Amino acid sequence: MTETILKMQKKVKRYLDKDRYDHTIGVMHTAGCLAMRYGADLEKALIAGLLHDCAKCVPSAEKIKLCERNHIEISEAEYQNPGLLHAKLGAFFARKKYEIENEEILRSIESHTTGRPNMSLLDKIIYIADYIEPGRDVAPNLPEVRALAFVDLDACLYRILEDTLAYLEKKGATVDPATEETFLYYKNLKNSDSEKEDKN
């Protein structure tokens, strides 16, 4: 790893509790593995993985205040569940505190919780790495999802979104419209691919 990333790692550690820091390192390494598998930029993947949760441990009320003060848009679902704001706020912190200017890295941090339609390769890598990193043990269907991540990123992304929505529905939790929008986008993409295969 570069000296820049190692310095960033020390700084991030100061702002996260132990469990969140351990998760962050897991995501960083998993993102690196996926980047190597799919030919993405390794350094960008490591940096995005390292910084994806840099705003996670900010208290909920403070997250809302910081977003309002810095003109970061807050959805109704995010007001109801301020924990979701850590992605948008994390992208803001990455730019301001960690001097990240690369838009691809910032976008992947911003979209790592809800996803977004037409995600870039780096977006997908960070979203999936966050879900499958080795420390995760409660997400549904983890063994299959982990295996799928190294075979077909889009299929893995769709599976994660499908499982996440089913899990949230079962819990009766609020679903961010952005997650539903992302799911529908990749569902349509999957159906479109299936139709093409049928025609062939």
pLDDT tens digits, residue range 33-55? 999 999 999 999 999 999 999 99
Predicted pLDDT at 198: 60
Predicted pLDDT at 140: 80
pTM equals: 0.94
Predicted pLDDT at 172: 83
Quick one: tokens of 12? 């991030």
Residue 98 has, within 13 A of its CA and on its CB side, a CA count of 30
Predicted pLDDT at 1: 65
Predicted pLDDT at 195: 67
Q: What CA–CA distance (Å, rounded) separates 196 from 190?
A: 10
CATH number at residue 92: 1.10.3210.10
Instruction: Compute φ and ψ for 28, nearest 5 degrees.
Output: -60, -50
Q: Which residues of the chain have pLDDT under 70?
A: 1, 194-200
Predicted pLDDT at 93: 98
Contact 151, 38 (CB under 8 A): no
Domain count, the chain: 1
Predicted pLDDT at 77: 86
Predicted pLDDT at 21: 97
Helix, strand, coil share of the chain (percent; to 5): 70, 0, 30
Q: How many other CB atoms are there within 10 angstroms of residue 139's CB atom?
A: 15
Return all residues near 16 (Cβ < 8 A) that are at least 6 apart. 24, 53, 54, 56, 57
How far is the CA of 157 from the CAs of 38, 46, 57, 110, in angstroms?
A: 14, 19, 26, 16
Domain of 175? Answer: 3-199
Q: What CA–CA distance (Å, rounded) separates 59 from 66?
A: 10
